[in-house]
Structure 1
Amino acid sequence: MSEPMKLSARVAAPLKKVHHALTDPGELRVWLAEHAEVELPHRYEFWGRHTPEGEAPRQRLLHVDDHTLRFAWPLGGEETTVEIILEEESAESTVVSLTQTHFDQEAALADSGVLGTLQTFWYLSSANLVDHLEGRELTPKADFTSPVMREQLVIDGSPEAVFDSLVDPEKFSRWFGYKVDIEPYVGGRFAMGGFEANDTPAKVVELEPGRGLTLEWPGFGLSSWELEGSGGGTRLTFVQSGFDEKNPPYAGWMGWLSGLAELRRFHELSDWRPIWLDPAAPGSPEGTTEGTTVSG
């Protein structure tokens, strides 16, 4: 079913600086896309291996001012429209709200079709926008030209602490922004939305305290977190495997990557709070007002 996709994020940067990051081609090549060309008010294009259907630029600028950016983006045979609105929260804080038409929730859940990738593409891109503007290391982007799904990042926290946040359901739900129930032992269940709401949970097939966790998803393959001490922190290697390489699960992959961006912030920021300001997503814990909506 096609419907608008919405997200909102808070970034600790002045509005003018955020606007510059959204409209300067050099900035876009850092946090958003492999290639970008911008000539306001006539041209706004980005493309490359980190962009859905990114073989060539497809965007057409519709409107731009100091607070709004709107462009058409043909995808999957549809003329989608992206709108980004900036709101000054304070002199050093800006709320970025983004919508895109024609998001396909069913395709996202099935990890099929480009319209199903829109939500997690923008979650990952927005997480990188925030980290770029706040002077933090970026999370690896998805490569739509490759079926290989293996990335690394370093977290300023011990392997034991990072592992605990992967197997403790309360901590996992906090940084992931979505209710998760976990039975932390081999053969145990891992359920997005909780055990009562999920009748097809993943199964824990590998678990080694302080070293890693592997889940097997019915019909979708494996997700693995591998942990290794690194200079006082943790080198986390995240791998998706066992999927149909003719139909790589890019939507889920970007969802996990955007989740890892928040996991790193969760461990590294003493005053951590979610960057996301979205209303509760379908299936998320009742009463949730801040959190990520990341596909599993």
Structure 2
Amino acid sequence: MGSVTTKTHANGLEYIEVNTHLCEARIFLQGAQIEHFQPVGKPPLLWVSSADDYQPGNGIRGGVPVCWPWFGMSSEPDFPQHGFARTRIWTLDSVEMRGQLVDLRFSLTLTEEDCVYWPHNTQVKVLFTLGDSLSISLVNTNLDKVPVTITQALHTYFPIQDIHQLRATGFEGAKYIEFAEGPYPQTTDEVTFTRETDRVYTDLTLVQQLHTPQGIIEVSRENSHSAVLWNPWIDKSQRLARFNDDDYLTMVCLEAANVLEDKLILAPGESHTLVTHIRWLD
């Protein structure tokens, strides 16, 4: 079947280690952040910077940070970028073995400090389903008596070996905003990388592919018509914390999202589940 154990990193962060006949994975309680997932007999599907020191209070630079309850900068000054969920300690609620699949459910209890940022009665959970592929579900429920607006993303970092050889496909027909300009129409199916890329896509089809020297990574989404495609390139890499100057060469982010006109407006009692699925194509 497999094993699910709780361990502690040398710097004090607790994580869940999963080993089965199909995969191995590590999920940190801080941020409910998965930072390693590797199907048996295949390369890892997630990337983490070797410059990250896994310090409490900092989201790990890699894996899948959970951006919630807002994506990007808040309209309020001094609020944390990408929300606060990625630096909070989540609770592991349950572990379920289903054949060779493993489900792990996490929830976040808001603190008094969090309520300063987010004075709404909402519930947020993350479900990981681990097999020879990885599925992540971000579940929001509005328990308030008034509508609540949320923007969010599963900020997935992928290992791509060589940014110069990467081809990302599945983008034709969408539109995007980049560096606060646009929207621009995406007139080709393929995106290649020769500079800093920071595109927020909307009207995007549900499946994209990353063509890398090691193989093709398929990235699909549910309940999402938006995604973020990001590579910091040379200059920004030198300014990022916990990021090597040359890390841009070996990573790209393709993030399932609900942003811009795809933002969530949850009525009282309403729930929404954002899902991303990632796998190596044979």
TM-score grouping bracket, smaller chain normalisation: 0.3 to 0.5
Q: Which structure's residues are more often helix, by fraction?
A: 1
Q: Which structure's residues are more often strand, by fraction?
A: 2
TM-score normalized by structure 1?
0.35
TM-score normalized by structure 2?
0.36
